[in-house]
Structure 1
Amino acid sequence: MGNLFVVSLAVADLVVAVYPYPLVLISIFNNGWNLGHLHCQISGFLMGLSVIGSIFNITGIAINRYCYICHSLKYDKLYSNRNSLCCVFLIWMLTLVAIVPNLHTGTLQYDPRIYSCTFTQSVSSAYTIAVVVFHFLVPMTVVIFCYLRIWILVLRVRRRVKPDSKPKMKPQDFRNFVTMFVVFVLFAICWAPLNLIGLAVASDPASMVPRIPEWLFVASYYMAYFNSCLNAIIYGLLNQNFRKEYRRIIVSLCTARMFSVCRSHDAADRVKCKPSPLVTNKNLVKVDCV
């Protein structure tokens, strides 16, 4: 049931592509936000939902991989179908609980520097610190602990230390672990600058906001949200099953396009070569195409 967490993470990444990102593009083309307050709040809310959902899903994946690799004998009992569904449901409930305060604190505002409605770090110092600590630092600490324990076990298995005490890791399990580990590393790299800026701003908003260069904030913001596009690339590069599915989808699309073009050409040829009757001396004469 580990794939269920991957699907949940993919949904979190997809949320921003469905609604907020198109509105950001409209805002860029119009050089400002003219879509109204409601769309601004919905866009900012869904962006936050995607971010916090991604963090919590990555944490859930790390715990799942830790249990699967380091406590394999208990894994089937811990992650039964019902328990896995409950875990995913809990992840999204915690995500909603984490995002709802934005609607009451007024932190979802339009930022002209990034042409989008998003979490404004300078509105509430206490809430910004809580977001960074409980929605980034604590989950990342849990993920680091899980992956460190997994890497220790991997190194022991590779070096055949105590071979009788630990089961050997299957190559497929190792590849899946590496894939999710890369997902976590890139997530941490992409989101760390924005969260560090948030801590700096929350410490003293009045003095720190003017001191942070605009280019640094914009670069950290877009680097953070670009992370949602990276996961699909990572899956395709590091996971054989994903590569096969990508190849199958691309081949299917190309085949369907070629079939559609061939059918349109055939239809045009049939119309061009269709016999047309001419009336000559009250007799019908068929004229074929040349």
Structure 2
Amino acid sequence: MQTLDEVDLCFPQLLNASCRKRALPPAVSMIACIMLTFIGLLTVMLNLIVIVSISHFRKLHTPTNILLLSLGISDFLVGFLIFIQTSVIDGCWFLGDFMCLLYHVLMYIIASSSIGTMVLISVDRYVAICDPMHYRTKVSEKRVKMCVCACWGCATLCHCVLLRHNLKHPGSLNSCIGECVILINNISSVIDMTVSFIGPVIVVVVLYLRVFVVVIVQVRAMRLRTAADPQQSSVKVKKSEMKAARTLGVVIVAFLLCICPFYSVTVTGKDTLLSAYNDAFIILMVYFNSCLNPLIYAFFYPWFRKSIKLIFTLQILKPGSSDFKLM
């Protein structure tokens, strides 16, 4: 018969080496597991719709939507990380040192690439609103694809370098079996915060403030033009671009509110996201943002609602469905 101490251990058979489980009431553990599972399923499903929609329908192959596709891929991957989180609610890591390292590396890469995508979205909206005459020449599909690939490549390379000690010796920092800990020294932490978070956030804020000022000026100009000649097509184009700027602005604000707490833990130098109760809440906010983005698209973008209908009614399986008009 197991003793109380053995029940509280992650690995009861390893009395002297096992970590202790997190002291959570059974009801709390069950609710947390149900919530994470639900968020994970919803995140994977909604972002899969985003990926299929933009990839399948040719009318959606625009520079802005390519950026949304990149964001959807990162959010889709987060959905799988959520399922890993459900297995460590009690604070015990059962997947081994390699999977522990892989989890953290993927988390950092996904977070950095998402922030990089937000910067690209801000640049896209800045050019579209502040320099609309040259938007098509400056922002092409090919250039956007190259920027997205560079964003993911740089995020992967940078974090492999920053986590090189952990990559060489996975699990060397664990104080007991069942723990998942990685180390980021102070210098690496400062570099990561500056390059992956502080710098990009400053760029995003500055660009969107500029966009906000230009939008106010253009709204006033639109009212004057509409009063003079309601049939001007140029006014309609500008109105569409500003609506996209507003929608993507909501996405960026929601993202920053959810991701800021995640990056704040890196200044401590030691990352124990899977063994601390408070950090679990921080991770939950990151997960929720990945689920929130497609909901924002559904609320603001008619093409996304149309694509959902076509996907669930299996209309996309018909020949020529990729040429359906959604916008």
Find the residue that maps to 1:128 and give its secondary structure: helix
**Which runs of structure 2 are paired with 1:74-85 in the superposition (5 Å)?**
74-85=134-145
**Which runs of structure 2 are paired with 1:206-225 in the superposition (5 Å)?**
215-225=277-287
Shift of 1:238: 1.5
Corresponding letter in the other structure for 1:190: C
Q: Does the C-alpha gap of structure 1 residues 4 and 123 become closer, same or farther in structure 2, counting only changes over 3 Å? A: closer
In structure 2, C-alpha distance between the alignment counterparts of 1:38 and 1:190, rounded to whole Å: 27
Find the residue that maps to 1:33 and give its secondary structure: coil
Shift of 1:7: 0.6
In structure 1, C-alpha distance between the alignment counterparts of 2:202 and 2:264, rounded to whole Å: 15
Aligned residues: 235
TM-score between the two structures when normalised by the length of structure 1: 0.71
**Which runs of structure 2 are paired with 1:166-185 in the superposition (5 Å)?**
168=235, 170-185=238-253
Identity of aligned residues (%): 24
Contact 2:97/2:180 (<8 A) preserved:
no
Find the residue that maps to 1:32 and give its secondary structure: coil
C-alpha RMSD of matched pairs (Å): 3.1
Match of 2:193 among 125, 132, 144: 132
Corresponding letter in the other structure for 2:191: A
Contact 1:105/1:124 (<8 A) preserved:
no
| Equivalence for 1:236 | 298
**Which structure: larger Rg?**
1
| Equivalence for 1:39 | 99
Shift of 1:90: 1.4
Q: Does the C-alpha gap of structure 1 residues 162 and 31 become closer, same or farther in structure 2, counting only changes over 3 Å? A: closer
Q: Does the C-alpha gap of structure 1 residues 196 and 149 become closer, same or farther in structure 2, counting only changes over 3 Å? A: same
Contact 1:66/1:146 (<8 A) preserved:
yes
Corresponding letter in the other structure for 1:191: I
Q: Does the C-alpha gap of structure 1 residues 125 and 83 become closer, same or farther in structure 2, counting only changes over 3 Å? A: same
| Equivalence for 1:159 | 220
In structure 2, C-alpha distance between the alignment counterparts of 1:116 and 1:124, rounded to whole Å: 19
Within the alignment, does 1:8 sit opposite 2:70 as a pair? yes
Shift of 1:228: 1.3
Gaps of 5+ in 1: 254-290
Per residue, is there more strand in 1 or in 2? Answer: 1
Gaps of 5+ in 2: 1-62, 226-233, 316-327
| Equivalence for 2:116 | 56
TM-score between the two structures when normalised by the length of structure 2: 0.63
Within the alignment, does 1:105 sit opposite 2:165 as a pair? yes
Shift of 1:185: 0.3
Q: Does the C-alpha gap of structure 1 residues 216 and 103 become closer, same or farther in structure 2, counting only changes over 3 Å? A: closer
